[in-house]
Structure 1
Amino acid sequence: MEKNHSYTTEEVANILKVSKLTVYDLVKKGLLPAYRVGRQMRIDPSDLEEYIKRSKGELQPSSSQSLSKETTSGAQGYSQVRQLIISGQDISLDILANYLEKSSKRFRPLRSYVGSLESLISMYQGYSDIVSTHLIEGISGEYNVPYISKILVNFQYIVIHLLTRKAGFYVKKGNPLNIKHWEDLRRKDIKIVNREKGSGARVLLDESLRKYRIPISEINGYNNEVTNHVSVASAVAKGDADVGVGIEKAADLVKDVDFIPLVNERYDLVILKNDENRELISQVLQILRSDNFKNDLKALGGYDLSQTGQVVYEN
């Protein structure tokens, strides 16, 4: 291992042949020391090497094993500072992480940039503390709760509305192929770029195809996958595809792309209801309902915040 730089979570995941969520879990449990640069977590090669040797039984756990560099440098024990994993891809979650860190010395948020279904599964497995989801049930048009209730079986949880945003098609500037509706994706002259399985955009596409009884075998480019909204918009701008599904905000970041709105999607947060999370839920509700937080999101544009902070569902 190289000694002259620190590793990102993605690099550590590749070295250990595990998911990034597993790396976050090792850090949360104090098994792998880490520190943060901005919102990004970094791990020193020496600490990773020590963890690997401990896993092989070559080293006994050190007395500092349960402390991250961040908590040690602050002279606070690991038990006093809780590392939080906030999972999802919208920039609003980065802002929420900043507010959480400022609001309480007890929380140290870390960000995991994965899709809605994977986020919910990570919560079921105990890897994530706050997850975001924008999953539509195509026939009913209901967002999120149908999926959450199926995945978080036998858990108690609260669903809090974060924001509403527009989702639809990215098309080439001027929309030369006149793409306006899901039915247009059947056309042989249209090639799509798709999102990865488990993302909200992928679920939106699949549920819309199901609703309009369009077989995926008729969709040119269905298996061409990228992993975020900007990559979808960029593929359309470069001419690698004619259309892709995503949110309006990403279209503002990419030149030579127009956005065709199709749905107003609900973007909600999920937190498990237990004794450990009682303070966390209270802090999140207080932040979401504050004028300062809402004003920061308003400054970004493109969000409907009229229901931000409302409890959608709890059990």
Structure 2
Amino acid sequence: MSTDISYTPEEVAKILKISKFTVYELIKRGELAAYRIGRKVRVEGADLELYKQKSKSLNSLALPQEPSIINEQLSHSHHFDRDESLVICGQDIVLDILTRHLEKQFPQIHFLRRYIGSIDGLMALYRGLANVVTAHLWDSDSNEYNTPYVRRLLPGHQACVINLVYRMEGFYIAKGNPKNIATWKDLVKSDVRFVNRERGSGARVLLDEQLRINGINRNDVLGYEEEEMTHLAVASKVARGEADVGLGIEKVAMQFVNLDFIPLHKERYDLVIRLEDLERPHFQALISILKSPAFRNEVMGIGGYDISQMGEVIVEI
């Protein structure tokens, strides 16, 4: 890659194999340097190369590859100051609302958001790189969400699983469903182009489990290797006609006028916290916020979520 040319955000997205929405988020957060020519955004080749080198440094610390807003101290240490920082992992907008409520109560605490998938979040919790992570990982053997994965990925560590919301997972399809997509087996139709989520995300786990159960070879799914990092990016690709179907949550589908949604699976979206942290003041505040009318009403106002068990302890492991 030449360092003396500039790239558009779309070209950067193709080079890094991420969505253009993630590129704009990186620029917005100052993690990737960019400049404007009129209304156009450009990224210098040298700045893109610098970002890639910084990402490699993070990866050497076993951090997941999805861009984060964890401050620079994490690039120099495996651990952060747990009395001054609290890292919350997950991608749902409900977590942004939760973080805002926490910031009001604890202005002295740095609440840092990391936008990564469920498995990467649990691994970050195991390695001491996160305090609160979310998971929506379905286990087909037990028909249970999250608990089997927490047991496997946090060996020797006690954890508490607390419900945040329930969400409906399903297919994003074009308005009117022109390809007549209804079930998992329709993904192998020769004229159906699929767009996938990244490895480690809850949606990817659900897909792979369903392919296995239905006896579907992933190599027969056109577009299986095409990955996007968020539900929003998947839905956008279907809405633009670049794919015929993708898997994600119903809430995101509501944001697109030219998409239909086929509900397939009601999923439990939980918070996972180390049991030893549960009695600390800001964790107790987190649970209180989940049960507060103000927070619950704000989430209800967004729509697309079932909050009937919000704040309830599902299991202590």
TM-score interval, smaller chain: 0.7 to 0.9
Task: Provide the residue aligned with 2:234 in structure 1.
Answer: 232
Paired with 2:295 and 2:285, the residues of 1 have a C-alpha distance of 12
- 1:14 equivalent in alignment to 2:36: no
Q: CA deviation at 1:260?
A: 0.6
Segment drifting more, 304-313 vs 274-283: 274-283
Q: CA deviation at 1:281?
A: 2.8
Q: CA deviation at 1:168?
A: 0.2
Q: CA deviation at 1:289?
A: 0.8
| Contact kept? 2:90, 2:115, Cα under 8 Å | yes
| Contact kept? 1:6, 1:42, Cα under 8 Å | no
Unmatched 5+ residue regions in structure 2?
1-26, 34-49
In structure 2, what residue type is equivalent to 1:262?
L
CA offsets 1:258-282 (integer angstroms, 9 cap, x no match): 1111111100000112258632331
CA offsets 1:102-156 (integer angstroms, 9 cap, x no match): 1234532111001111111111111111000101112432111111110001001
| Contact kept? 2:277, 2:283, Cα under 8 Å | no
- Name which one, 1 or 2, has greater alpha-carbon Rg: 1
| Contact kept? 1:83, 1:109, Cα under 8 Å | yes
| Contact kept? 1:133, 1:268, Cα under 8 Å | yes
Paired with 2:124 and 2:300, the residues of 1 have a C-alpha distance of 30
In structure 2, what residue type is equivalent to 1:98?
R
Task: Provide the residue aligned with 1:309 in structure 2.
Answer: 311
Q: CA deviation at 1:253?
A: 1.9
Task: Provide the residue aligned with 2:113 in structure 1.
Answer: 111
Paired with 1:276 and 1:162, the residues of 2 have a C-alpha distance of 16
Structure 1 residues 20 and 281: CA distance shift in structure 2, 3 A: farther
Task: Provide the residue aligned with 2:281 in structure 1.
Answer: 279
Structure 1 residues 10 and 131: CA distance shift in structure 2, 3 A: farther
Task: Provide the residue aligned with 2:14 in structure 1.
Answer: none
Paired with 2:299 and 2:258, the residues of 1 have a C-alpha distance of 25
Paired with 1:131 and 1:40, the residues of 2 have a C-alpha distance of 15
Paired with 1:262 and 1:300, the residues of 2 have a C-alpha distance of 21
Secondary structure of 2:91's aligned partner: coil
Unmatched 5+ residue regions in structure 1?
25-38, 56-67, 69-77
CA offsets 1:183-216 (integer angstroms, 9 cap, x no match): 1112212110000100111111111111111111
1:293 to 278, 284, 295: 295
| Contact kept? 1:9, 1:23, Cα under 8 Å | no
Secondary structure of 1:240's aligned partner: coil
Secondary structure of 1:264's aligned partner: strand
| Contact kept? 1:170, 1:244, Cα under 8 Å | yes
Task: Provide the residue aligned with 1:86 in structure 2.
Answer: 88
Q: CA deviation at 1:10?
A: 6.2
| Contact kept? 2:167, 2:304, Cα under 8 Å | yes
| Aligned structure 1 segments of 4 or more residues deviating by more than 4 angstroms | 9-13, 20-24, 39-43
In structure 1, what residue type is equivalent to 2:306?
D
| Contact kept? 2:29, 2:69, Cα under 8 Å | no
Segment drifting more, 100-109 vs 193-202: 100-109
Secondary structure of 1:205's aligned partner: helix
Structure 1 residues 237 and 6: CA distance shift in structure 2, 3 A: closer
Task: Provide the residue aligned with 1:153 in structure 2.
Answer: 155
In structure 2, what residue type is equivalent to 1:121?
M
Paired with 1:127 and 1:41, the residues of 2 have a C-alpha distance of 10
| Contact kept? 1:21, 1:112, Cα under 8 Å | no
Q: CA deviation at 1:166?
A: 0.7
Task: Provide the residue aligned with 2:146 in structure 1.
Answer: 144
1:27-176 aligned within 5 A:
82-176=84-178
1:266 to 257, 264, 268: 268
In structure 2, what residue type is equivalent to 1:14?
K
Paired with 1:6 and 1:224, the residues of 2 have a C-alpha distance of 25
| Contact kept? 2:106, 2:282, Cα under 8 Å | no
Task: Provide the residue aligned with 1:204 in structure 2.
Answer: 206
Percent identity at matched positions? Answer: 43
RMSD: 3.1
